């Protein structure tokens, strides 16, 4: 039976329900946990996070994929407790958001060492938590081109994905020719890869989303809600209408089965103020109503938020 690793153990794929496929319980740069000004007490973190997850569950949300990876504040014991208290399935990541947030110990590691580490986190568990990773995170470092370290991480991720059947999720879909070359060399089918952030305000113009889709990759419109209309829009914000039209145009070209959508929000950001007014619940409060208003039927909405993530997240071996 197809299954997915959650922090509380594997579950049958059909229990995932509606999935927010690229989110964060709390993302911070490596070292933020050492900063007395920025580190949050357990009370603050629960206070900021539990109401958002409860609301997600009440709206009909089933599964929250935490795309945080190693070194950026991932905390699996905490995720296990949040999942038990709110009833939301939480999927944790192995891998790295990008080479530029891998601490030196990992930055110097070989492809084989990194692959073995990812496989351990997927098949045995993350640290002593017993929670197994359900996805492998990789990404392009700041600067817009893949670094040598990024490439090693992508190659290790491809090896780990093939060995375990767990899929790969990328931060940024720029420089996709290099990424696809690595995945293809390793023999990883591209429907096991979600190329993320094709919709963000910085990279949307540079990302060859239709080309990636033509190669067979899955496409992540996963920064919904980072809008220029927010009171404090981040630099990667984009006008709401423009992003929505991009998404509708893309699926209107016959690519409904290749898209995944999410909000990439932080429940409780670590070491930075976060973006006020933006949460995972944008999916229910704004995005799904916008899609209905644009004429999408319930079957299409189920495809985007239930069927496509189920197919993507299911362990294939
Ligand atoms: Zn993210």
22 is in an annotated binding site: yes
CB 133 within 8 A of CB 126: yes
Listed residues: CB within 5 A of ion ligand 1? 67, 264
Q: What is the pTM of this model?
A: 0.97
276 is in an annotated binding site: no
Q: Cα(218) to centroid of ligand 1, in Å?
A: 16
Between CA 97 and CA 71 the distance in angstroms is 9
Q: How much is the CA Rg of the chain, to the nearest whole Å?
A: 18
CB 310 within 8 A of CB 19: yes
197 is in an annotated binding site: yes
Q: Cα(200) to centroid of ligand 1, in Å?
A: 11
Between CA 104 and CA 295 the distance in angstroms is 49
Which top CATH class is 3-313? alpha beta
- What pLDDT shows up at residue 204? 87
Residue 144 CA: distances (Å) to CA of 98, 178, 196: 11, 12, 14
pLDDT in tens, the chain (317 residues): 899 999 999 999 999 999 999 999 999 999 998 998 888 999 999 999 999 999 999 999 999 999 999 999 999 999 999 999 999 999 999 999 999 999 999 999 999 999 999 999 999 999 999 999 999 999 999 988 999 999 999 999 999 999 999 999 999 988 899 999 999 999 999 999 999 999 998 988 888 999 999 999 999 999 999 999 999 999 999 999 999 999 999 999 999 999 999 999 999 999 999 999 999 999 999 999 999 999 999 999 999 999 999 999 999 97
206 is in an annotated binding site: no
112 is in an annotated binding site: no
| Burial grade of 252 (CB within 10 A; 0-12, 13-18, 19 or more) | exposed
Q: Cα(96) to centroid of ligand 1, in Å?
A: 11
| Burial grade of 50 (CB within 10 A; 0-12, 13-18, 19 or more) | middle
Beta strands in 42-127 (DSSP E): 61-66, 89-91, 93-95
């Amino acid at each position: 039976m197809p299954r997915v690793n959650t922090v509380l153990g594997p579950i049958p794929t059909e229990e995932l329900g509606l999935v927010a496929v690229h989110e964060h319980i709390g993302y911070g740069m490596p070292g933020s946990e050492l900063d007395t000004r920025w580190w949050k007490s357990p009370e603050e973190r629960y206070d900021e996070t539990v109401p958002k997850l409860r609301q997600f569950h009440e709206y009909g949300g089933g599964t929250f994929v935490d795309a945080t990876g190693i070194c950026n504040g991932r905390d699996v014991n905490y995720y296990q407790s949040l999942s038990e208290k709110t009833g939301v399935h939480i999927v944790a990541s192995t891998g790295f958001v990008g080479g530029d947030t891998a601490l030196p110990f990992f930055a110097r590691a070989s492809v084989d060492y990194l692959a073995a580490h990812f496989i351990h986190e997927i098949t045995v568990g993350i640290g002593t938590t017993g929670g197994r990773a359900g996805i492998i995170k990789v990404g392009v470092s700041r600067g817009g081109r893949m670094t040598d370290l990024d490439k090693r991480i992508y190659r290790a991720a491809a090896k780990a994905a093939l060995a375990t059947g767990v899929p790969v999720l990328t931060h940024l879909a720029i420089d996709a020719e290099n990424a696809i070359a690595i995945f293809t060399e390793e023999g990883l089918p591209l429907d096991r890869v979600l190329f993320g952030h094709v919709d963000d305000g910085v990279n949307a113009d540079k990302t060859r989303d239709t080309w990636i889709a033509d190669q067979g990759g899955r496409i992540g419109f996963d920064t919904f809600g980072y809008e220029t209309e927010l009171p404090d829009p981040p630099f990667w914000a984009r006008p709401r209408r423009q992003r929505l039209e991009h998404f509708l145009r893309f699926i209107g070209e016959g690519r409904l089965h290749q898209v995944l959508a999410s909000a990439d929000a932080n429940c409780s950001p670590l070491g930075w103020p976060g973006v006020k007014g933006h949460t995972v619940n944008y999916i229910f409060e704004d995005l799904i109503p916008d899609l209905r208003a644009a004429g999408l039927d319930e079957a299409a909405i189920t495809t985007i938020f239930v069927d496509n993530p189920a197919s993507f997240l299911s362990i294939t071996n």
